[in-house]
Structures are given as structure tokens and as C-alpha cells.
Chains A and B, each alone.
Chain A
């Protein structure tokens, strides 16, 4: 038995819309098997994993806190991936956004006022973009593979943050804990509805970014340029689009958004710098981008789904004693199924070598008429 792909004359609109849902359904099925293997009733587990974490208003706020960085980063990455540029170091750009944005509240805590927060956010974006500029520069100037360089820089960023909070930026009154001072009131990203839950302005940034990038990609010349350079760089060159400029554009945009996500997380959800400020948002965002079909509006929905996998992972850990790594497994499986289902958009899949593998309508009709005769 083997699979055979038959190219469709046009891309299938039906599967284009359906594939994320099929992928999600397959993930649920695989997840049920996984839970059963772990000795847990899948229905109980799914209730704890997917339903309970979002059954109260304050929990929806937690969902928004987790979804905001995912959406912000993934929206930027979607532009890169559309242009066939592979920035997989968003985790590092996220960290550098957090570090740059923290310069003001950590080094100049006496500087207060309404200007502090906007400056921090701006610095965060600059930090993320600057860090993303390194692989862009290496790619354009020295022809270096951006996948490997951007990923290597993640490790470097993690170590740099570790050094900062254990060394020069450590809180002298922090009893030796590796963390900076608590940010002042002006440096904290405000909560949207403090009475209802903890959700902060990060989710608003994420939604605004998604809409802006959607407009950019579908209504503006730059978006067209991105898509042309992604599908046919040769055609793009004839149109006068520069590949080097596109590499910088994609890296700086995604870096800035990842940096904004970083400083929003630090000043909103955490309130200080710690050795670890991200549970792998930069990598999970890659899954979000693909699950959202590289469409900013789809990414908003995908970000909420992936945020739920984080919350569900924490929930099954406390309720059932299953490792919260199960969240990472769910995320990985989801991406696999999404990529697999995307094949259906461009190809029909035929099974060859099975005795009954003749997806021919006459065969089906024969079979159904025979069934009728038999009954």
C-alpha cells in the first residue's frame, strides 16, 4: 500500500477552510489515545484540559494573557514565512524585547511619569528588531542560512538574560534571588478590567497588530511584494522588488512584534526580569502561525487555541498529576496534523495497492445498490 498524490487543477477552497478543523479533530483523537495510554479516561481529561480552564470569566483573562504574546509573535512570523524567509529565533527576539524595554525601570527607577510605559514599549520593539537584524544582516551580507543563525541566537539571548539578572541587574535587596527590582507603578502595563481578571493591554496590542498586518498583507503593495517574493523571487526581481530589502523588512517587523510581546509580558504579567521569562512562546508561535494559515485573522483564533493548550497542560498537571509537558506534545501534534492536512488543499490523496482502493464513483454506486439488494 502506498499514498499517491494527485495534483488538483486549482487549490481547493473547501479544504483551505476545513484543514485547520480537520487537524484539530485529528489532534483530539490522537490526544484521546495518548490520555488512554496514560491511564486516564479521555473524556475526563478533555473536560479538565479544554473545558474547565475557560469556564469562568477570570480564566478567560488568563487565556488572553497567554494568547497575547503568541498572537503578536505569530503575526510577525506569518509575514516572514509568506516571504519564504525562515525566522525561527523569535524566542530570542522576545527576550531581547524584554531586556531593552526593562532598561528604563531597572536602570532609571527614579524616572517616573506617563512617558515611561510608551518609551518602554518602544524600546522593547527596538530591542527585538535589533536582535532580528543580526540574522537578516548575516543573510544579506554574508549569504548565511537564517534558520541556523536565528536559532543559535536564541541560546545566546537566554544566556545573556541569565547573566543580566544574576549579575549587573540583580536586585541588591532581593535576598540573592536572580531577579531585577520590581518595576515601579508607571512601568507596569495596566490591566484592562482589574475587577474581572488579570488580562492586560497586551491582548489589545495583539489584536491591533493582527488587523494592521492583515491590512498590510491584503490591501497594500508591500503585502503583495511579500507574497510575490515568497512564491517567486525571480518574478519579484523583474518587478523591481529587492530580496535583501525584503529580508530586512520581514526580520525587522517580526522582531519588533516579538520584542513588543516580550516587554508586554515582562511589564504586564511578570513585573520584573527573571532568568526565564517565556515558556517557549517564540517556538509555540511558529505553530500558531501555521495553524492560522499564515493569515493574521486566522492567527488570532489559532493563538487562542494554543493558549488553551498551555492552560490545559497546567490544569491536567494539578488535577491528574500528568506532566504539563503534555501541552508541548499537543502543540507538536497539532502542527503535524495542520501541515499534513494542508496537503489536501493542493492534492487529492489516493491509496494505491489496496484491493478496494478505487475511489471511483461507479464502484461506490455498485456497492450501495448491492447493499440495497441484500437488505
Chain B
């Protein structure tokens, strides 16, 4: 039983950064903006979180720094694509490339240094409760944030007027503009929210998952988060399910490597990436359904006519 609980806990830890980054990107894409810079914002959050935590000794300051770093970095993307109407695909790519380079440079002195870890929740009496105690009351704080965030985004997008407005912008920015909605302002806020989420996800990697700084430690998780949004057909609860499926794949291949299954370790390491491809194929096979789910003005630059 203990083994099962441990595996479930590690799956949750692996799924949390994917979930947070994907939920953030989901809001961005619902507003009609495609930000391919998730990987770059995530790694900036990871280096910022580690750095602040290491320098101040407080993982909580690290957590805040990770969020701030992601948000700040996404602002660069927002200015380019929203104010200067640049190509979103190319700008997102350059955000990822710049983030990978910049984080490597900033983290030069952090390599090999011991980091600080966010403490797990510990409620006397509840956490020690058999089986479900640790699952419900003994995880890291970002896990709880991720679940709350998913619920909040679900409520915001589908139960509030502002959420409806945001979705309408994603479906037709020119109609929304004609109705007097501040398209660019909504999109700025969405992009920055997505950046903060990606930064938080990166912070989870360097403050919880492996509390240290390793170059390129996101290892493609930002891209998998992007794929999760497609997989989830832009619906928050499906992102939650997808993130846990991918967390399970990620942990499963690590366990398989540890057990010495007679398969080359590289094949197992490739599984999360191959799984992403397979899942994308399955989900986008139906062309009409995909078109119906995709925010209609996703990736289109918008310049308001005056």
C-alpha cells in the first residue's frame, strides 16, 4: 500500500508543473494568442526561483521570484506580438531560445549548489492518517495551488462575464473590438497570467521536484504543456486529466529504468515525447472537431483599426 501511495505522490509531483504551465497557456490561447515560449518562460522561472531561494535561503521568496520572472519574461512576448503585431509563432520560438540562453548564463554560478526545498504540508493528525493522509494533506504547496488554479480557471472562463468576454476575443477579435471590448488589454493580461503560471511551473521544478539548478532542466516540459492544451481541446478539466496521464508516463519510465527492464534507457526516456506525438495524432485526427474546439482567431495578429 505504501508503494502505491509513494507512486501516486511522485506522479502528482511530476504532473504539477505540466498542469500549471498548461492551465496558464490555456487561458492565453482562449484569448486567441499562441505563445510558444512556454519552455523559455518555464526555464526562466526555474532559474529565478532557484536563484532567489539560494541567495535568500527562503524557498517562499524563491516561489514568488519564479512567478515574477515568468510574468516579466512573458511581457516581452506581449509587447512584441500585441503592440508590434509580430508573428506569434516566430516570436514564441525566439522567447524559448532566449530563455534557454539567458537562464544558462544567469545560472552559471548556481550549478552544483544545494538548493532550498518548499516544505510539504504537515497537519498534525491529518497528514499521518493512513493512506489518504499523505495524498490529501502531505504534499508540496504548489500541488494545492495547481488544483486550486485549475478550479479557478474553470470557474473564471465558464461562469463569469469576464471569462466569456475573454473567450469571445479568442473566437473573433474583430467582432469583440467592434463591440468596444479592449482586445489588446485582455490579451496583455492573459499573456502575463500565462507567463506567471509558466514561471510557477518552472519554480516547482527547481524548488520542489529537484531542488537544484541544472541547465535545460525543463527538458521539453514546456512543449509538452503546449501539446496538453491541444490534447485537452482547450478545456481545463481535461488539462488536469492529461497532465496526470503524462505525469504517470514520466514516472513510469523512470521506475522502469530503475527496475532494469531489458529495454535501453534511451527508449524509455523517449516515451514521454513519443506519447505526446501519439496523443496529438489521436486527438486531432477528426478535422472538423478540432476546428470547432480551436479558438478561431488563435495565432492571428490583431491590429485595431482606428
Residues of A within 8 A of B (CB): 2-5, 7, 81, 86, 88, 138, 142-145, 147-149, 151-153, 155-156, 159-160, 162-163, 166-167, 283-284, 286-287, 290, 323, 325-333, 335-336, 339-340, 342-343, 347, 349
Which of B83, B101, B277 is A2 in contact with, Cβ under 8 Å? B83
Cβ distance A32 to chain B, nearest Cβ, rounded Å: 16
Query: Could you tell me the distance in whole angstroms from the C-beta of A194 to the nearest C-beta in chain B?
Result: 34
Interface contact B94-A287, CB-CB below 8 Å: yes
Known: A152-B273, A156-B274, A347-B85. A323 touches B280 (CB 8 A): no
B270 at the A interface (CB under 8 A): yes
Q: Determine the residue in chain A with the shortest Cβ distance to B287.
A: A143
Secondary structure type dominating chain B contacts:
helix
Assess the A325–B108 pair: CB atoms within 8 A. yes
B223 A151 Cβ-Cβ under 8 A: yes
Closest A residue to B94 by beta carbon equals A335
- Distance A167 CA – B289 CA, assembled complex (angstroms): 44
A343 touches B86 (CB 8 A): yes
Is residue B230 within 8 Å, beta carbon to beta carbon, of the partner chain?
Answer: yes
Is B91 at the interface (CB under 8 A from chain A)? Answer: yes
B83 with A3: CB separation less than 8 A: yes
Interface range on chain B (Cβ under 8 Å from partner): 35 or more
Q: Which residue of B lies closest to A162 (CB)?
A: B266
Asked if B76 CB lies within 8 Å of chain A CBs, one says yes
Give 28 A-B contacts (CB < 8 Å), ordered by A residue.
Answer: A2-B83, A3-B84, A5-B303, A86-B89, A142-B284, A143-B286, A144-B281, A145-B280, A152-B273, A152-B277, A155-B220, A155-B270, A156-B270, A159-B270, A163-B267, A167-B264, A283-B97, A286-B93, A290-B90, A325-B102, A331-B101, A332-B99, A336-B76, A336-B80, A336-B91, A339-B80, A339-B90, A342-B86
In the bound complex, residues from chain B placing their C-beta under 8 Å from that of A339 are 80, 84, 86-87, 90-91, 94
Chain B nearest CB, measured from A261 CB (Å):
18
Nearest CB of B to A344, in Å: 9
Interface residues of B in 211-253 (CB under 8 A from A): 219-220, 223, 226-227, 230
Tell me the residues in window 133-170 of chain B with beta carbons closer than 8 Å to chain A beta carbons: none
Proximity string of chain B (78-120) to chain A, C-beta cutoff 8 Å, 1 when within and 0 when not = 0010011111011101100111111011001000000000000
Q: Which of B83, B104, B266, B286 contacts A159 (CB 8 A)?
A: B266
Asked whether B280 lies within 8 Å of A328 as measured between CB atoms, the reply is no
* Interface membership of B172, Cβ < 8 A: no
Which residues B40-62 have CB closer than 8 A to chain A?
none
Known contacts A5-B303, A163-B267; A329/B86 CB under 8 A: no
Known A4-B306, A152-B276, A335-B97; 4 more pairs at CB < 8 Å? A159-B269, A160-B270, A332-B99, A339-B94
| CA A339 to CA B87, docked complex, whole Å | 8
Bound-state Cα–Cα, A323 to B110, Å? 12
CB distance from A186 to the nearest CB of B (A): 30
Known interface pairs A153-B277, A287-B94. Does A163 touch B84 (Cβ–Cβ under 8 Å)? no
Residues in chain B near residue A283, CB distance under 8 A: 97
Asked whether B36 is an interface residue with its Cβ less than 8 Å from the other chain, the reply is: yes
B128 lies within 8 A of chain A by Cβ: no
Q: Which of B254-301 contact A (CB under 8 A)?
A: 264, 266-267, 269-270, 273-274, 276-277, 280-281, 284-287, 290
A138 CB contacts on chain B under 8 angstroms: 277, 280-281
* Bound Cα distance A254, B99 (Å): 26
The residues of B that contact A156 with a CB separation of less than 8 Å are: 270, 273-274
**B98→A336 contact, CB < 8 A:** yes
Complex alpha-carbon distance, A325 and B274, angstroms: 29
Bound complex: CA A2 to CA B268 (Å): 50
Q: Please name the residue on chain A nearest to B102 by beta carbon.
A: A329
Complex CA–CA separation, A287 to B95 (angstroms):
12
Q: Which of A86, A147, A323 contacts B105 (CB 8 A)?
A: A323
Q: CB distance A144 to B280 under 8 Å?
A: yes
Q: What is the CA–CA distance of A336 and B108 in the complex, to the nearest angstrom?
A: 23
- Smallest Cβ distance from B280 to chain A, in angstroms? 5
CB of B87 to closest CB in A, whole Å: 7
CB distance from B138 to the nearest CB of A (A): 33
Chain A neighbourhood of B303, CB < 8 A: 5, 7, 347
Return A213 CB to nearest CB of chain B, in Å: 20
Residues of B within 8 A of A5 (CB): 83-85, 303
Complex contacts, A2 vs chain B, CB 8 Å:
83
User: With A328-B100, A332-B101 given, is the CB distance from A340 to B86 under 8 Å?
Assistant: yes
Q: Which residues of B contact A142 (CB under 8 A)?
A: 281, 284-285
Kindly list chain B residues whose C-beta atoms are within 8 Å of the C-beta of A330.
101
Residue of B nearest to A7 (CB): B303
Q: Which of A159, A323, A329 contacts B98 (CB 8 A)?
A: A329
- Closest CB in chain B relative to A142 CB, distance in Å: 5
The 10 A-B residue pairs with the shortest CB-CB distance in the complex, in nearest-first order = A328-B101, A332-B98, A325-B104, A163-B266, A335-B94, A325-B105, A159-B266, A329-B101, A343-B84, A323-B108
CB neighbours of B273 from chain A (8 A): 152-153, 155-156
Contact partner, A145, options B76, B83, B100, B284, Cβ 8 Å: B284
CA–CA, A81 and B281, complex, Å: 22
Which residues of the partner chain A approach B287 to less than 8 Å between Cβ atoms?
A: 143
Q: Which residue in chain B gives the minimum CB-CB distance to A322?
A: B105
A90 to chain B, nearest CB (A): 12
B-side contacts of A343, CB under 8 Å = 84-86
- B274–chain A nearest beta-carbon distance, Å: 6
- Which residues of chain B come closer than 8 Å to A328, judged between CB atoms? 97-98, 100-102, 104-105
Q: In whole Å, how far is A101's beta carbon from the nearest beta carbon of chain B?
A: 20
Name the distance in Å between B49's Cβ and chain A's nearest Cβ: 19
For the complex, what is the distance from the CA of A323 to the CA of B100, rounded to whole Å?
A: 13
Q: How far is the CB of A5 from chain B (nearest CB, A)?
A: 5
Residue of B nearest to A5 (CB): B303
Given contacts A88-B93, A152-B276, A329-B102, contact A340 B226 (CB under 8 A): no
CA distance A167 to B263 in the complex (A): 12
Contact residues in B for A160 (Cβ distance below 8 Å) = 266, 270
